[in-house]
C-alpha cells in the first residue's frame, strides 16, 4: 500500500456517540439506465495490493454495498488489453464493483473506461487522491487536484465514452483544500458521484480527517458524495454521516484485518443490533476462507507470501501479532499458514481466559 505498518492504525476519536443515522441506498446515476445502487451505502475503498478479488469478495460477503479494485494504469490497460491486466479480474459474486483507473490523458482514460465497461464493471473511478511521490511526480493521483481544468477535460471524455457511472476519488486538496472547485468541475463534466478523503495530499495519513471539508463539498454539489477518512466501526460511520451529510461512507484502513466492519455498519444503518466482535474461532474461520480464495486465485506459492500482511492485520495489537511475526519467514505452504493461524488463535483464546479470570 505504501503506508508504513505503524501508520495503518486509525487515530482514536474522543467524543459522545452520535445518534443512529438512517440512509437510503446511494444511487450513482439512474439504476434503471445503467446506473449503480450502493445498498447499504458503505463502500470498500480501493487500496493498492489489498483490494484484489479475494478481499473484495470477503467484504461483499460481510455487507459492503460496493467494492472497488486496486488502481489500474489506464495507459497499460489500453495498450495491453484486459487479458494482460491481472488487476482487472471481476467476479460475478462481488457486484456491484467499481474499477479505479489512474492516468492524466483524457483520451486514454476514456478508452480505458470503455474497456472497464465491456468487462462488466458497474462503475469506473478516477484516482485523484494517491499522495505517493512516485504517482504524483508523473502528474497522476492527487497531482490532478492542482488543475481543475484538466479534471473537467478528463471527466468530460470519460463520461461521454461510457454509460456506466463515472466517479472520482480525491483528497481535500494538494497543500490546502481545493475540493469544492475540483468537484464542481467534475459535476459539470458529467461525474455521477464523488468520494472525498478529508485530508490534503501534504497531510498524508496524519491527524484526523477534516469532516468540515467533506460537509462543504456535500453542500456545494448535487451529485452523491461519499465520505472517506477514519471510518473503522459503526460509531465513526455515524460520525461521518451525521457531521458531513454524505450519502455513503467509504472504509479503507478500517477494513484491514477487519472485514466485519461492513457487517457492523450495515446492521446499524438498518436499525438492527450491531453484531458482537468475532471470537477467535470465528475469526479463524473467516481467515481460512480468505486463504482459500487466495490459493484459488493466485496459487499456493504466491498466497503464502501475500497472506502474511493480512495475518498481521487480523491480529494487530494482540499478543498473537508477536507470535505471528516470529513465524512469518516459515510460512511457505498452506499447511504452514494453517499452523500460524492456529497458533495465533491459541494465544487469543488464552488471553480471553486470563482476562476473564482477572475480572472474576
| Active site amino acids | 130
**Distance (Å, whole) CA 290 – CA 296:** 10
Phi, psi of 170 (to 5 degrees): -130, 170
- Among 129, 137, 100, which residue's Cα sits nearest to residue 203? 129
**Distance (Å, whole) CA 88 – CA 90:** 6
| Residue 84 per-residue DSSP state | G
- Give 227's strand partners: 196, 249
If you compute the radius of gyration of the chain from its CA atoms, what whole number of angstroms results? 20
Give yes or no for a cis peptide into 40 (omega within 30° of 0): yes
**Distance (Å, whole) CA 58 – CA 289:** 8
CA dihedral defined by 341, 346, 351, 354, rounded to 10 degrees?
170
Element (H, E) at 100: strand 97-102
**Distance (Å, whole) CA 277 – CA 226:** 26
**Distance (Å, whole) CA 241 – CA 23:** 9
b/e code 194-207 from CB counts within 10 Å (16+ = b): bbbbbbbbebebee
Grid coordinates representing 210? Answer: 477534516
Grid coordinates representing 37? Answer: 445502487
**Distance (Å, whole) CA 30 – CA 164:** 10
**Distance (Å, whole) CA 232 – CA 58:** 16
Amino acid at each position: 500500500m505504501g503506508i508504513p505498518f505503524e501508520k495503518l492504525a486509525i487515530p482514536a476519536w474522543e467524543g459522545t456517540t452520535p445518534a443512529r443515522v438512517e440512509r437510503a441506498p446511494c444511487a450513482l446515476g439512474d439504476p434503471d439506465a445503467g446506473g449503480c445502487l450502493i445498498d447499504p451505502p458503505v463502500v470498500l475503498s480501493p487500496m493498492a495490493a489489498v483490494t484484489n478479488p479475494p478481499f473484495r469478495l470477503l467484504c461483499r460477503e460481510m455487507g459492503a454495498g460496493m467494492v472497488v479494485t486496486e488502481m489500474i494504469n489506464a495507459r497499460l490497460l489500453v495498450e495491453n488489453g484486459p487479458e494482460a491486466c491481472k488487476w482487472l479480474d471481476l467476479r460475478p459474486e462481488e457486484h456491484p464493483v467499481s474499477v479505479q483507473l489512474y492516468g492524466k490523458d483524457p483520451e486514454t482514460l476514456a478508452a480505458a473506461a470503455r474497456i472497464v465497461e465491456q468487462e462488466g464493471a458497474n462503475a469506473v473511478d478516477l484516482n485523484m487522491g494517491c499522495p505517493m511521490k512516485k504517482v504524483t511526480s508523473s502528474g497522476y493521483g492527487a497531482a490532478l487536484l492542482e488543475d481543475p481544468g484538466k479534471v473537467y477535460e478528463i471527466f468530460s471524455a470519460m463520461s461521454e465514452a461510457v454509460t456506466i457511472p463515472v466517479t472520482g476519488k480525491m483528497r481535500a486538496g494538494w497543500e490546502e483544500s481545493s475540493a469544492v472547485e475540483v468537484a464542481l468541475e467534475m459535476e459539470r463534466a458529467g461525474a455521477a458521484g464523488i468520494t472525498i478523503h478529508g485530508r490534503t495530499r501534504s497531510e498524508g495519513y496524519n491527524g484526523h480527517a477534516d469532516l468540515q471539508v467533506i460537509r462543504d463539498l456535500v453542500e456545494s454539489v448535487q451529485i452523491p458524495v461519499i465520505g472517506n477518512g477514519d471510518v473503522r466501526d459503526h460509531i465513526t460511520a455515524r460520525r461521518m454521516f451525521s457531521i458531513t451529510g454524505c450519502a455513503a461512507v467509504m472504509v479503507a484502513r478500517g477494513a484491514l484485518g477487519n472485514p466485519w466492519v461492513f457487517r457492523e455498519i450495515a446492521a446499524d444503518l438498518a436499525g438492527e443490533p450491531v453484531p458482537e466482535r468475532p471470537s477467535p474461532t470465528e475469526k479463524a474461520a473467516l481467515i481460512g476462507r480468505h486463504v482459500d480464495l487466495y490459493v484459488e486465485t493466485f496459487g499456493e506459492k504466491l498466497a503464502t507470501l501475500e497472506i502474511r500482511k493480512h495475518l498481521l492485520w487480523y491480529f494487530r495489537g494482540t499478543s498473537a501479532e508477536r507470535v505471528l511475526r516470529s513465524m512469518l519467514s516459515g510460512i511457505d505452504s498452506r499447511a504452514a499458514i494453517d499452523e500460524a493461524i492456529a497458533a495465533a488463535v491459541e494465544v487469543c483464546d488464552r488471553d480471553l481466559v486470563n482476562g476473564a479470570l482477572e475480572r472474576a
